[in-house]
Amino acid sequence: MRSRSLTPLTPDASRLTDPGTLYLVATPIGNLEDMTFRALRILREVDLVAAEDTRHSRKLFSHFGIATPLTSYFEHNEAQKGERLLDQLRAGKSVALISDAGTPAISDPGFLLVRRCRDEGIPVLAVPGPSAAVAALAVSGLPTERFAFEGFLPARSKARREALQQLWAEPRTTIFYEAPHRLLATLRDICEEMGAEREVAVARELTKLHEELFRGTAAAAVEHFGAGRVRGEIVLLVAPAAAGAAEPAASVRSVEESLRKLRDEGLPLRQAVKQVAKEFGLPGDEVYRRALAMKDEDRRQKAED
């Protein structure tokens, strides 16, 4: 007779012997002490772990003494590798999916594999843990009872501004992920499309040694993060629109349009910049840089014509 373990089982412990189970395992977003006991057990007992970046995950495995085989599963091999993982699951193998940090399938590869598993009746179980979006919301000081997660905004300014225009009246706290080298440009676009006085929060390097949480107006955030190079993982949160708030002027008539209008009227550049900066509540040096960029763009277009 097989002896029974004296250790209390978690609800899914017996499922490890079941065939073809996909586990979505959350991993730390910074501090390795946030790794759960359940996540460690699952990663040690499954047949295979699919990781967004095997080099990154090997460091995690080395730290915790995990010897389970690793295979890569990232955006550019998601379709091809997903089929191989499905073959493993169909054959009765247990597979764990992890991302570089946080909860897999949330702004990371995984959705397509989960969908295929669900369509084929392959069990999918969550092993919950850290999530940068939820952690940032909890400590932000912005309203938490309702929120919307938008993932990454478009990298190009025009598309990003168009996305923000659609969200300016959002009645919930909106959460974005953002790359550090694009944070300042995104904050400037928020000033233009949502208003310089819109409250924002920026969580940087959550759970790590140099963790930072900034909360203030979008204009103040531009000033704060414009003072030096921004590093680390970023979660950007935008406060809900005030009830009955009027649409910001910048989303009706852009800063560029205002500058062009004044320029066409013959107003000197510096006077036009001063007037537009006051109109939109933006720093004068930012409007001036935008005006110079417009001139460069006009020259390029003329050269192309």
Ordered by start, the domain boundaries in the chain are 19-130, 133-247, 253-299
Burial class of residue 296 (count of CB atoms within 10 Å of its CB; 0-12, 13-18, 19+): exposed
pLDDT of residue 29: 96
Classified by CATH at the fold level, domain 19-130 comes out as Cobalt-precorrin-4 Transmethylase; domain 1 (3.40.1010)
Walk along the chain (305 residues) and give the pLDDT tens digit of each residue: 444 444 444 545 444 445 589 999 999 999 999 999 999 999 999 999 999 999 999 999 999 999 999 999 998 888 889 999 999 999 999 999 999 999 999 988 899 999 999 999 999 999 999 999 999 999 999 999 999 999 999 999 889 999 998 998 999 999 999 999 999 999 999 998 898 899 999 999 999 999 999 999 999 999 999 988 999 999 999 999 987 666 654 544 577 888 888 888 888 888 888 888 887 767 787 788 778 877 777 776 677 66
In the chain, what is the straight-line distance between the N-terminal and C-terminal CA atoms, in Å? 85
CATH of domain 133-247: 3.30.950.10
